[in-house]
């Protein structure tokens, strides 16, 4: 799978099986325009169809100032209602494709994550952040509301009451608060967040890829079910792993006291 040819993204394989994706519009704080929306949708769709050697994704922004400032409001200035609707449909599809990505995705928030930028991070499985990072869902201050999953993913991360305060005030908050509220998994010193996320991604990528995917799927969909249905979904996901080469390799490696060589089969 080719990872080249993007105008707004930089994609590079880092540690074995770890793909680093960088939003690359630092001159506008990595705000996403129509082109970036198309490229993100194309990338996530391609990875879902055939991930190649990739087993885990780290998503970050270029530079140290911003992860992503949200949608590019200069591009949106003067847009017709129809053009805005079409663009937002594209953004929606790109966000949903990231949320549905079979591979685990870690957001490495190196700076400001505002509006759609925070929603993009929330679509990842979890977030690492620099201590200097700032967060906000600013949409209501612009006459709109979060439309990239923010009103759904944020309350699932921090609770409904906290999410309503964040969304309805549109006030920015810091990384320490984000960590304390459960939005961020791990805090890093400035300049170290990508390395920390890549290290965790490498640990994930070293595990059996089919097992990792099934476990992610079980958590994601199980949280939307009643507990008895979720238990049954988990067992169905588990049973799909029993007749795999990786399961047999894992048991052999344990008994032979060596590191397993998982193939994703």
pLDDT digit string, tens, across residues 54-74 = 999 999 999 989 999 998 888
Provide the pLDDT confidence category of residue 84 given band limits of 50, 70 and 90. confident
- What's this model's pTM, rounded to 2 decimal places? 0.94
Is the per-residue pLDDT at 175 higher than 70? yes
pLDDT digit string (tens) for 222-236?
A: 999 999 999 999 999
Which of 1.25.40.340, 3.40.50.10860, 1.20.120.420, 1.10.12.10 would CATH assign to domain 209-255?
1.10.12.10
CA distance 24 to 5: 13
Across all residues in the chain, what is the average pLDDT? 94
- Domain residue spans in the chain? 9-205, 209-255
The DSSP symbol for 137 reads -
Catalytic residue among 64, 139, 165, 189: 139
Q: What topology is assigned to 9-205 in CATH?
A: 2-enoyl-CoA Hydratase; Chain A, domain 1 (3.90.226)
Residue 139: active-site member: yes
Nearest Cα residue to 244 out of 261, 264, 229, 230: 264
Give exposure, 83-119, as e/b (b: 16+ Cβ within 10 Å): eeeebbebbebbbebbbebbbbbbbbbbbbbbbbbbb
Catalytic residue among 4, 53, 89, 119: 119
Provide the pLDDT confidence category of residue 1 given band limits of 50, 70 and 90. low
CA distance 16 to 99: 23
């Amino acid at each position: 799978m080719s990872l080249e040819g993007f105008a707004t993204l930089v994609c590079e394989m880092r540690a074995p099986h770890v793909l680093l994706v960088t939003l690359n519009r630092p001159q506008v704080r990595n705000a996403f325009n129509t082109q970036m929306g198309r490229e993100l949708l194309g990338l996530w769709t391609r990875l879902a169809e055939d991930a190649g050697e990739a087993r885990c994704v780290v998503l970050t922004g270029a530079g140290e100032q911003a992860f992503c400032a949200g949608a590019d409001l200069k591009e949106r200035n003067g847009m017709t209602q129809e053009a805005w609707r079409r663009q937002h449909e594209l953004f929606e599809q790109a966000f949903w494709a990231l949320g549905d990505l079979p591979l685990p995705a870690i957001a490495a928030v190196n700076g400001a994550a505002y509006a759609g930028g925070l929603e993009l991070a929330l679509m990842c499985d979890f977030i690492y952040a620099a201590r200097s990072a700032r967060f906000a869902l600013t949409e209501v201050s612009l006459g709109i509301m979060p439309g990239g999953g923010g009103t759904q993913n944020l309350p699932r991360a921090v609770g409904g009451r906290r999410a309503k305060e964040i969304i309805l005030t549109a006030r920015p908050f810091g990384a320490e608060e984000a960590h304390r509220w459960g939005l961020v998994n791990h805090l890093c010193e400035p300049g170290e967040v990508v390395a920390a996320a890549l290290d965790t991604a490498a640990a994930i990528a070293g595990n059996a890829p089919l097992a990792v995917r099934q476990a992610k799927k079980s958590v994601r969909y199980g949280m939307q079910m009643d507990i008895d249905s979720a238990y049954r979904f988990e067992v169905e996901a588990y049973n799909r792993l029993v007749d795999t080469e990786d399961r047999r390799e894992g048991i052999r490696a344990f008994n032979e006291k060596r590191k397993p060589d998982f193939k994703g089969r």
